[in-house]
A and B are shown apart, each in its own frame.
Chain A
Amino acid sequence: MQTLSPCPRTDEYQHLLAGSLVSADQQPLLLHLEQCPQCAETIQSLLDRDTMIEAVPVTPQLADDLPQGLMDRLLALDVNVEYSGLRELGPYRIRERLGQGGMGIVFLADDPLLERTVALKVMRPSLATNQSSRQRFLREARTAAKVKSDHVVTIFQSGEERGIAYVAMERLEGSTLGARLVGGEFTIAESLRIAREMALGLAAAHEQGLVHRDIKPENLMITKDGMIKILDMGLTKNVTNTADNLTGVMNTNAILGTLDYLSPEQALQNEVSAGSDIYSLGATLFMILTGHSPYDGVPASQKLMQHQFGKVPDILDYRSDAPPAFAAVLSKMMAKKISERYQSAAEVADALLPWASQDGQTAQISLPSRVMANPGYHSQTPTIREAASATASDVRISPLNPTVTVSIPKPEPVLSNGVPAHAVNRSKKKSNASQPEPIAATQPSAPESVIPSEIAPESPKAEPAAIPTRNKISAKKNTGNQTAIALIILGLAIIIGGIILLTQLV
């Protein structure tokens, strides 16, 4: 027969229920309680006063109720906790935490050897435990380091220490477009410049075979100098090497990318390409111009449907001060069918070129070779380069270096709020009627169709790039027609004169 130990004091049971006893101290009390009817009565009286589990719902809110992918995103925020003690990594001395993305946390760090400050992206330990994930992280850094653009964050170095993979990047000072949007929408002039810089950055990334997959205001930095930099290549996918697909380390069923800027093909979880980034870029532009995403205000599930089947919103319905030709460019970027969008980010940059110059000086534009969004498709919409090559007199093209030198006259007058003077008080519908037809990909367009019609100004001084080309063609045609008419009139006059002379002689 097992001898019962002496009954514990009531306050010992109180400590037990208060959770203030360590496990080793709990055990004797619990063993005694199992066998002691008296202590059961004592405990019952204590439990009667315990409200901890009073009216607790038997079926609590469960994590299963959260939208798909949300729990993963929340769990991914733990990096700060995991790395709170990290002080040094490789040659870098960590100063403070700057932010974090899906793959890791970004610290501000010093490089004492080169005496410069860097942004140090450190891979999440939970991902770092997986060797292949670590290799992918570093491979991403290598690929991203090859992207040469003023509009993509520069990679300095990558490395691995104590199983922690890291990437050192240029430190950017400024804010994301998302943060800037809190202060209100951007002016048309700002938006157009930003748009082109984003397109140039994307074009450089696409040239390396990288698709960003998550272009959105939060992934675009506007530096203190006003320059756009594309951030967070953490979701990027190398379209030329499937082994480099970083998303492989994440939930394969999750829709990657933010719903507000998701391309139709991403909404369908189909294969993404450079064209997907172009769609997201268009949606981002829409956001910075209007302060809301294209299909804002509908539930997430409907948002996916809208991206696939909804009407492409017309920016002119929201910003009547937007150039109609730019509205056409934006619509084409956000076309539902990938084949109807611009076929490369470089094409987008080309299409935005007429609004790019801010100082009226000659612009040196480096056009990277195109990464086709749809390799089997050849765009029917001529680029500015093709349009420019139609006349060698105005544009010089080096056959070895894809650099185009374009003489850009002073832009049209811009009001203090950034609105082009001619755009003010313009009838929206009337403007629409004068738009070129950029979306009809199956119908070859005339070279000048790439040139937005409304930027052809009254005064040649206010004419942007490539406009002289079209006018010279027209002028030559006009001169020829006038000469022919003059000759016909002269001929008729001679004939009539001859007839009169003959009549008088007779």
Chain B
Amino acid sequence: MLSAAMAPLIPQNSVQSTHGPSEPLAPASLMMTTSETLLGELREAGQPAAWNKFVQLYSPLLYSWLRRTGMQEADAADVLQEVFRVLVIKLPQFEYDRDKSFRSWLRVIFLNVWKNYCRQSARHAAMLANLENCVGQDDIFSETQYRQQVVAAAMELLRPEFQPQTWQAFVGHGVENRSAAEVAAELGTTVGAVYSARCRVLARMRSYLQGLID
């Protein structure tokens, strides 16, 4: 029998609904059956919330990388906007397969838009040379960096779907790599509940990012 202090860490929402209260609602007339994966949602018509989530997931990291290459704020904003303008059309057409990861697909679009932007004027041409220097093993599209950034952004996005204690258990054990016993003691719950919380969040993140990370 579990005491109240040892209550299991349950998700904030019912298990049948994976969408949190903070999620923007689609107009009722356009609401359709949703898939649990973001790519699936993006493929379906009438899912403006999916686009919102996709933008929130990718825009900060693409923008920060553009800025790190030395691009000025206004230029970075222009390039980013053009990238998403292309993506809004292309995304529903993307089909995941093992030989063509979303990461490499996105990389092609991103670099093409950037190159086109750089070709627009002589001033931008200098940025093209900079691009060549910045793209390589350590760029944002290297497998490790890409995964780290996308997962980190997804964590922020999915956090409202979970109860605070569930989230703290996941972060303490999974991200901060502290022992389950230590985290359980800190939160006043069981070791099993900490494992359960970590698995619950991981499962949600994996299904959400299916097809987006390698």
Write the residues of chain A forming the contact surface with B, with a CB cutoff of 8 angstroms.
1-2, 13, 16-24, 26-27, 29-31, 33-37, 39-40, 43-44, 47, 50, 52-63, 65-67, 70-71, 73-75, 77-85, 97, 125-126, 128-129, 162-163, 181-182, 259-260, 291-292, 296-301, 303
How long is the Cα–Cα vector from A58 to B205 in the complex, in angstroms?
Answer: 15
Which residues of B pack against A, CB within 8 Å? 1, 8-9, 15-16, 18, 27, 29-30, 36, 42, 45-48, 50-52, 55-56, 59-61, 63-64, 72-74, 77, 80-81, 84-85, 88-89, 91-92, 119-123, 144, 147-149, 151-153, 155-156, 171, 174-176, 180, 190-193, 195-196, 198-200, 202-210, 213
Cβ contact of B119, chosen from A24, A33, A40, A182, cutoff 8 A: A182
Q: Contacts A53-B202, A61-B61, A292-B121: A129 and B27 contacting too (C-beta < 8 A)?
A: yes
Closest to B191 in A: A40
Using known A-B contacts A18-B206, A53-B174, A74-B55, determine if residue A24 contacts B15 with beta carbons closer than 8 Å. Answer: yes
A78 to B64, CA, bound (A): 22
Nearest CB of B to A286, in Å: 13
Given A52-B205, A77-B51, A162-B29, do A63 and B15 touch, yes or no (CB 8 Å)?
A: no
Q: Total A-B residue pairs with C-beta atoms closer than 8 Å?
A: 210
Q: Are A126 and B48 in contact (CB under 8 A)?
A: yes
Q: List 20 A-B contacts (CB under 8 A).
A: A19-B202, A24-B15, A30-B199, A31-B8, A33-B195, A40-B191, A56-B155, A58-B175, A61-B60, A70-B59, A70-B81, A77-B81, A78-B51, A78-B88, A80-B89, A81-B47, A125-B27, A126-B48, A163-B29, A291-B121
Kindly list chain B residues whose C-beta atoms are within 8 Å of the C-beta of A2.
1
Our pick among A19, A44, A79, A299 for the contact of B195 (Cβ within 8 Å) is: A44
Contact of B155 among A1, A36, A44, A60 (CB under 8 A): A60
Whole-angstrom distance from the CB of B160 to the nearest CB of chain A?
A: 14
CB-CB under 8 A for A63 and B51, given A26-B15, A37-B192, A126-B27: no
Contact B206 A52 (CB under 8 A): yes
18 new A-B contacts at CB < 8 Å, known A61-B152, A70-B81, A84-B45 = A24-B15, A33-B199, A39-B192, A43-B195, A47-B198, A53-B202, A56-B155, A56-B175, A74-B55, A78-B55, A81-B48, A81-B51, A81-B88, A81-B91, A125-B30, A182-B120, A299-B74, A300-B74
* Candidates B42, B149, B202, B206; contact of A81 at CB < 8 Å: B42
The docked-state distance in angstroms from the alpha carbon of A63 to that of B73 is 14
Q: Choose among A19, A34, A47 the residue that contacts B196 (Cβ–Cβ < 8 A).
A: A34
Query: How many angstroms from the CA of A292 to the CA of B8 in the assembled complex?
Result: 62
Q: Are B153 and A19 in contact (CB under 8 A)?
A: no
